[in-house]
Amino acid sequence: MELLIRVIKQFIKLSAAEESIVKELFTELNLEPGDYLLEEGKICRHVAFINKGLVRYFINNDEEERTMYFSKELEFVCNYTSFLPQTASDKSIQALEPTQLYIISYEKLQRLYREISEGEKFGRLAIEQVFLSAIQQLDSLYTDPPVVRYQQFLAHYPDLIQRIPQYYIASYVGIKPQSLSRIRKRISGRH
């Protein structure tokens, strides 16, 4: 769990004793591609840290599946709109690669907030980061045309373009796979 400890230490100070508490509170979970971390209709019971791998969040909108965003190694993954109030999730989270996670339950996360001296500060800063990213992506879904969304995807996730099937990227951008091919040709034609 060294990567997780290192990421937490980017937010707060952790004593050696507190590192042990963190390691005790998180549990390893391994997913194969296609496995679900969270299924629509169920309650999101964990926050997960991605040690290795890649997941996508998607929603079923009028029977049509739409990919809303991606999370990769070193990021926290959770549907907070289900996790925080502990109500049924409207989104699913699915692994796209063999994915190694460290997960913490709602109850254990409250313990982390209490038992680590800067636990509450970590909670505030981590949630600020996760929500900022979620809101920026949702705002973009609403305001940016597909070309801009694709260019932003390339800019923010240059390494993911090889790791994600084209139809998921097209769904994320909000267009059909054929239209994505046309956008890609147009962009590469400019170079």
**Nearest-CA neighbor of 77 among 65, 88, 91?**
91
In the bound state with a copy of itself, the residue whose beta carbon lies nearer, of 84 and 187, is: 84
Is position 154 an interface residue for a copy of itself (rule: CB under 8 A)?
Answer: no
Binders in 5-64 for a copy of itself, by CB under 8 A: 59, 61
Cα–Cα distance between 188 and 157 in angstroms, integer?
A: 17
Cα–Cα distance between 69 and 149 in angstroms, integer?
A: 12
Task: Give the residues across from 148 on adjacent strands.
Answer: none
Minimum distance between the CB of residue 138 and a copy of itself, rounded to whole angstroms? 4
Is position 98 an interface residue for a copy of itself (rule: CB under 8 A)?
Answer: no
Stretch that binds a copy of itself, among 26-34, 138-146, 158-166, 180-188 (CB under 8 A): 138-146
Q: Indicate which single residue of 3, 134, 147, 160 sits in contact with a copy of itself (rule: CB under 8 A).
A: 134
Q: Which helix (H) or strand (E) holds 91?
A: strand 91-95
Cα–Cα distance between 34 and 114 in angstroms, integer?
A: 35
Binders in 60-89 for a copy of itself, by CB under 8 A: 61, 80-81, 84-85
Minimum distance between the CB of residue 98 and a copy of itself, rounded to whole angstroms? 29
The DSSP output letter for 13 is: -
Cα–Cα distance between 191 and 120 in angstroms, integer?
A: 48
Contacts to a copy of itself by CB under 8 A: 59, 61, 80-81, 84-85, 90, 113, 118, 120-121, 123-124, 127-128, 131-132, 134-136, 138-139, 141-143
